[in-house]
């Protein structure tokens, strides 16, 4: 019987593990992919919006010569923290169910890479799962075609190709800039009236300049309504247009999956978008079941970042420590 099992070895799951260590608890972390898999899925050359100090966990310094670190530096940092702290991490194990037993402890159903299932038991469970496995789908004909992806890694495969980028957030703008530099013919399709207010301020002027020079085609108030092998069809201000197209990057964001915690009995708010939890302890409506990081967000997963989600672990650790002292 474990004192605590943490589901997810992202930055917020690792932070929770380190904070629990400070209280004398050695948690087990179960991760269905690799450590910080969400960061691994970021674009290869992505630079963070945050400074390194805001990405630090467990008191381990994040050293970098850059004002804002890059993806590869973050991978090295979190991997090194996990190794040096000797956190107990079982990678490539998927928790498929959480059940609260009559005596108050939790039983987790876990599957390994071969599909073999086993159970693990814990007095407390922290769900620190991310959201990259669940993109916001467009729900349009042709979205299932091989030329469509909801993930962007790097520009090289798209050199000389006609690429449509759907979205207007930082991920879409950064991808469009990379694609242009690699020689792709880029069209950005965005339903907004103008540029999004969340675009990084040092990127927007450069992007606008590329649009004004005709190096990137920017279509506002527009939506892709159909994708075919060699074309896409968009609607813009009531009129339909068909554009030649080789690839579609549907960078429309992601959403957390609530099935794991709701099946365990945790309640969602009235609109069903986010779990109900105590803001000072991160405990859900199921006693002993906690959430950390993006798992605590609403419909917009970007409302919780690493710099805020990393603090959830300390709140949870303090609450569990208080409970253990009361029961001893």
pLDDT digits (tens, 9 = 90+) for 203-217: 999 999 999 999 999
Domain span at 80: 2-133+254-327
Contact 49, 106 (CB under 8 A): no
**Residue where one domain finishes, among candidates 231, 250, 269:** 250
In a domain, 91, yes or no: yes
**Which sign, positive or negative, has the C-alpha torsion 210, 203, 233, 194?**
negative
Sign of the alpha-carbon dihedral angle for 67, 70, 76, 78: positive
The pTM of this model reads: 0.89
Higher pLDDT, 12 or 258: 12
pLDDT for the residue numbered 229: 97
Residue 142: inside a domain, yes or no? no
Are residues 178 and 41 part of one domain?
A: no
Q: How many CB atoms lie within 10 A of CB 186?
A: 27
pLDDT at 299 over 70: no
Last residue of a domain, one of 201, 219, 250: 250
What average pLDDT does the chain have? 93
- Beta bridge partner(s), residue 290: 126, 283
CB atoms within 10 A of CB 151: 14
Helix (H, G, I), strand (E, B) or coil at 301: helix
Domain boundary among 234, 250, 266: 250
Instruction: Give the DSSP per-residue string, 180-219.
Output: HHTT-EEEEE--SSS--TTS-TTTHHHHHHHHHTTSEEEE
- Name the band, by pLDDT with cuts 50, 70 and 90, for residue 134: confident
**CA separation for the pair 44, 152 (Å, rounded):** 9
In a domain, 138, yes or no: no
Residue 317 has pLDDT above 60, yes or no: yes
- Residue 49 shares a structural domain with residue 24: yes
* Euclidean distance between CA atoms 87 and 94, whole angstroms: 18
Cα 92 to the center of its chain, rounded Å = 17
pLDDT in tens, 54-110: 999 999 999 999 999 999 999 999 999 999 999 999 999 999 999 999 999 999 999
Query: Is 90 exceeded by the pLDDT of residue 328?
Result: no
Bigger pLDDT: 269 vs 242: 242
Residues whose CB falls within 8 Å of the CB of residue 239, separated by 6 or more in sequence, listed in order: none
Strand partners, 36: none
d(CA 328, CA 325): 5
Same domain, 121 and 83: yes
My answer on whether 281 and 243 are in the same domain is no
Cα 49 to Cα 54, 55, 163, 200: the distances in Å are 10, 10, 25, 8
Over the stretch 244-288, which tens digit does the pLDDT of each residue have? 999 999 999 887 788 899 999 999 988 777 899 999 999 999 999
- 311 or 49, higher pLDDT: 311
Least-confidence region, from 112-116, 153-157, 195-199, 249-253? 195-199
pLDDT of 235 > 80? The answer is yes
CATH number at residue 158: 3.50.50.60
Q: What is the mean pLDDT of residues 120-139?
A: 90
């Amino acid at each position: 019987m474990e004192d605590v099992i943490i589901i997810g070895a992202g930055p917020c799951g690792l932070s929770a593990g380190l904070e629990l260590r400070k209280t004398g608890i050695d948690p087990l972390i179960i991760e269905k992919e690799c450590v910080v898999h969400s960061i691994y899925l970021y674009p290869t050359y992505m630079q963070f919006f945050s400074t390194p100090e805001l990405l630090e966990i467990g008191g381990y310094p994040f050293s970098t010569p850059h004002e804002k670190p890059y993806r590869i530096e973050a991978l090295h940092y979190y991997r090194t923290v996990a190794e040096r702290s000797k956190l107990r991490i079982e990678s490539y194990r998927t928790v498929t169910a959480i059940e609260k037993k009559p005596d108050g402890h939790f039983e987790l159903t876990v599957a390994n890479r071969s599909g073999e299932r086993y159970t693990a038991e814990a007095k407390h469970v922290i769900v620190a799962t991310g959201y990259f496995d669940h993109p916001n789908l467009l729900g349009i004909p042709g979205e299932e075609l091989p030329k469509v992806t909801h993930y962007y890694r790097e520009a090289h495969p798209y050199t000389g190709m006609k690429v449509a980028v759907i979205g207007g957030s930082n991920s879409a703008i950064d991808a469009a800039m990379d694609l242009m530099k690699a020689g792709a013919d880029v069209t950005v399709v965005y339903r907004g009236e103008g540029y999004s207010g969340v675009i990084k301020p040092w990127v927007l002027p450069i992007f606008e300049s590329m649009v004004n020079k005709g190096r990137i085609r920017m279509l506002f108030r527009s939506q892709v309504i159909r994708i075919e092998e060699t074309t896409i069809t968009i609607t813009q201000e009531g009129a339909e247009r068909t554009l030649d197209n080789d690839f579609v990057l549907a960078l429309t964001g992601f959403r957390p999956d609530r099935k794991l915690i709701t099946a365990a009995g945790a309640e969602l708010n009235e609109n069903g978008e986010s779990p109900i939890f105590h803001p000072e302890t991160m405990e859900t409506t199921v006693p002993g079941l906690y959430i950390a990081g993006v798992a605590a967000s609403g419909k917009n997963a970007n409302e919780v970042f690493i710099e805020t989600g990393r603090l959830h672990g300390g709140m949870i650790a303090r609450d569990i420590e208080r409970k253990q002292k009361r029961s001893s």
